[in-house]
Amino acid sequence: MKIKSLAFVMVLALALALAACEQLALSPTTPTPSPTPAPPLEQIAQTAQTFMEAWQRSDWGAMYGLLASAAQQSISQGAFTQRYRGLHNEMALLKLQAQRAGTEAISPERVDVLYDLVLETTLLGPVNARNRLAFVPEGAAWRIAWTPQAMLEDLQEGMLVRLSIKSPQRGNIYARDGTALAIQEKVISVGVVPQWIQDENKLLDTLSSALGMPREAIRNKYASAARQDWFMPVADITQEQNAALQGVLANLSGVSRQEKLVRAYPQGDLFAHIVGYTGQISAEEWEQWRSLGYMVDDTVGKAGVERWAERPLAGKRGGTLAIMSGEQTVKVLKDVAAQPSQSVYLALDPALQKAAYEALGDRAGAVVALDPTNGDVLAMVSRPSFNANEMSRGLSAAQWQALLDNPLHPLVNRATLGQYPPASVFKIVSMTAALQEGAFAAESSFFCPGSWMGLNDGLVRNCWLKTGHNTIDLFYGLVQSCDVVFYEVGKALDETNAEILPGYASKFGLGQLTGIQGVDEAAGLVPNPAWKQAHPDQVSNPFWTTQDAVNMAIGQGYMLVTPLQAANLLAAVGNGGTLYRPRLVHRIMSLGGGTETAFAVESIGQLPISPEHLDLIQEALREVAMEPYGTAYLAFAGIQVPVAGKTGTAEAGPTEPHAWFAGYAPTENPTIAVAVVVDHGGEGGVESAPIFRKAVESYLGLAQAAP
């Protein structure tokens, strides 16, 4: 039995040994590791492209959805969106272009995709930069391990992109003699630093008394401070006011004063409609100005020359775009120097402007004075006016609404935007057409009994002189402004051709823009058969009739002109027939001299009149003012130089008519042409001619007659 047992044990041991050898053959004692799969570069590149395309369209949510889980845990979607929006806003980014620059395998667990960026900014133009998208595996996909380098390669945690703007000082606006009309002026900004306040009641009482502001208005200025150590402006005061208030403000806890530059208009409301004013960019204007390189809180010209010459006046802002760590510059992305601003010089004569402004007084209306030899705008007055300083420094909502609701429309420049029936001033055109077309001669005779029924339409049309002018010829019809004469003129011309009178009006520069630069203007209106048919909603009858021509011949009906057009017409009559483009802007010059842009004298047409007929018109206009039978004779009694012109009384519905006088002086080789209109002023010879006289006497340096 012992022998059998020993044999069994030996057989079993041998079997176990053979099994162990077989197992060793199947499973080596040192296993070989499986190779790591290569990163899916095509999928990574596609994800990177998707991310960049989402960035280009500012789809922050789509971008955030491509981030790895760890990255999303480190930054919320709101904070992620805020980072990108902040970058866009700081750079004033318009658009983004991205081009893949390469791929870098940093480790088996990380792949970076690099992009070359072109960041189109409003202020600095294109900025070239690079960003780096880091990808890590997450499950079956590779996702973005977001860091600030995904925005810009050199941007690290704790760093910011900062734009430092370089702004040139705004240029000035001057009159022809160098009188400052718009300048940069130093003022003192009085403000409150909330954390410095020790006695708020004392602060409010003192500031209210010193600044003339309600306590609550002052408190509202600083109550909304995001930080208690911020300076919160309350009001601006002049250097003189600051000196006078020194003892009051110097030791008042909570108050601080800072010097700053503001836009100032030394002449107040005298040139307001021409020069205009500045103001902060509104929400409605932002897209327009943003595309021109402006920032959201910039100040721009809002009206007049300030708006028209915004770009030269403002110069071109520059700036430095840099990655910053605290106050230390890490990398300058782009640096652009500012381009200097320029000043604008106008043709205006300040003394004449003041004289015309004062002569018009509190009456609503306009005065335009031109140099007949070249079209220079010597004066341009519109009343009522407004204070450009108040407009530029900001009005309250109530103040702004009060201006808008004012029935006299003080913000409207009546000189170029006011459109009035020209009344008898238009008879100059009507007489020219009659002479040139051979319809009548200067000595052609008419009979004026004080009314006219020449159209057989049942309507009685009156002459302004109810007793009538009796027998009168065409020449004296203009001198004495006989309506009956010009009813006949309008009828005769229309029966020949309905386009004659409208055609002459257009050739005298009416019904079209003069092309003046610096201010907005209206075109006025010269009605004709085509216009009536095209505007049935504005007329009682869409078809042209002789009634329309008769009304036009005396400057009534649908016809409208601006005071600027009337002045230009009379300037052309006075200078021998040349229509000049009114020239308000003389030149634009860089600060401190240097580059200059001059605005040349420009002829825009010749009056359609022969020299002999023009002589007749000129003599008739002289007699209007200088002869006892002229309609403006009383207004010019005793004047030291002969003047020529035409009165007009324009119907204005149930209210008093608008009063016109337009003319030039001296009659030989005139140096000034003036148009005056007084809204609802009555008779032109009574209301407007004296204003014309004061303007002429001021400009020519003549002693004014005693009242």
> What is the phi/psi pair of residue 125, to 5°?
75, -150
pLDDT averages per 10-residue partition of the chain, 707 residues: 38 39 44 68 95 96 96 96 93 92 93 96 92 94 96 93 89 96 92 92 94 92 83 88 92 90 92 95 83 79 96 91 93 93 96 98 97 98 94 83 92 97 98 98 98 94 96 98 98 98 98 97 98 94 96 97 98 98 95 81 97 98 97 96 97 92 98 98 96 98 70
Helix (H) or strand (E) holding 472: strand 470-473
What angle, rounded to 10 degrees, do the helices at 483-496 and 427-436 form?
A: 50
Considering the segment(s) 173-320 as one domain, its CATH architecture is: Alpha-Beta Complex (3.90)
Distance in angstroms (rounded) separating the CA atoms of residues 690 and 361: 12
What local confidence, expressed as pLDDT, does residue 654 receive?
87
Query: Under CATH, what is the fold of the domain 350-395+622-700?
Result: Beta-Lactamase (3.30.450)
Q: How far is CA 434 from the centre of its chain?
A: 43
Helix (H) or strand (E) holding 389: helix 388-393
Distance in angstroms (rounded) separating the CA atoms of residues 164 and 155: 17
Helix (H) or strand (E) holding 164: strand 160-166
Contact criterion met (CB below 8 Å) for 524 and 419:
yes
C-alpha distances out from residue 102 to 47, 68, 360, Å: 14, 21, 75
* Domain range annotation of the chain: 41-157, 173-320, 350-395+622-700, 423-606
CA nearest to 492, candidates 564, 408, 553: 553
Give the class (CATH, top level) of 423-606: alpha beta
Query: Under CATH, what is the fold of the domain 41-157?
Result: Nuclear Transport Factor 2; Chain: A, (3.10.450)
Distance in angstroms (rounded) separating the CA atoms of residues 668 and 353: 24
Helix (H) or strand (E) holding 647: strand 644-650
What local confidence, expressed as pLDDT, does residue 397 receive?
81
Domains 173-320 and 423-606 share a fold: no
Q: Which two tokens stand for residue 261?
A: 């530059």
Distance in angstroms (rounded) separating the CA atoms of residues 635 and 107: 98
What local confidence, expressed as pLDDT, does residue 317 receive?
86
What local confidence, expressed as pLDDT, does residue 395 receive?
79
Residue 654's beta-bridge partner residues?
652
> What is the phi/psi pair of residue 224, to 5°?
-95, 15
Contact criterion met (CB below 8 Å) for 556 and 650:
yes
CA nearest to 585, candidates 320, 347, 294: 347
Distance in angstroms (rounded) separating the CA atoms of residues 337 and 291: 19
Q: How far is CA 45 from the centre of its chain?
A: 48
| Helix, coil or strand: residue 249 | helix
How many H helices and E strands in the chain?
26, 27
Distance in angstroms (rounded) separating the CA atoms of residues 303 and 553: 36
Distance in angstroms (rounded) separating the CA atoms of residues 340 and 315: 5
What local confidence, expressed as pLDDT, does residue 25 receive?
43
What is the reported pTM? Answer: 0.82
C-alpha distances out from residue 58 to 79, 81, 88, 155, 258, Å: 15, 9, 9, 19, 39
Indicate the burial class of 272 (C-beta count within 10 angstroms; 0-12, 13-18, 19 or more). buried
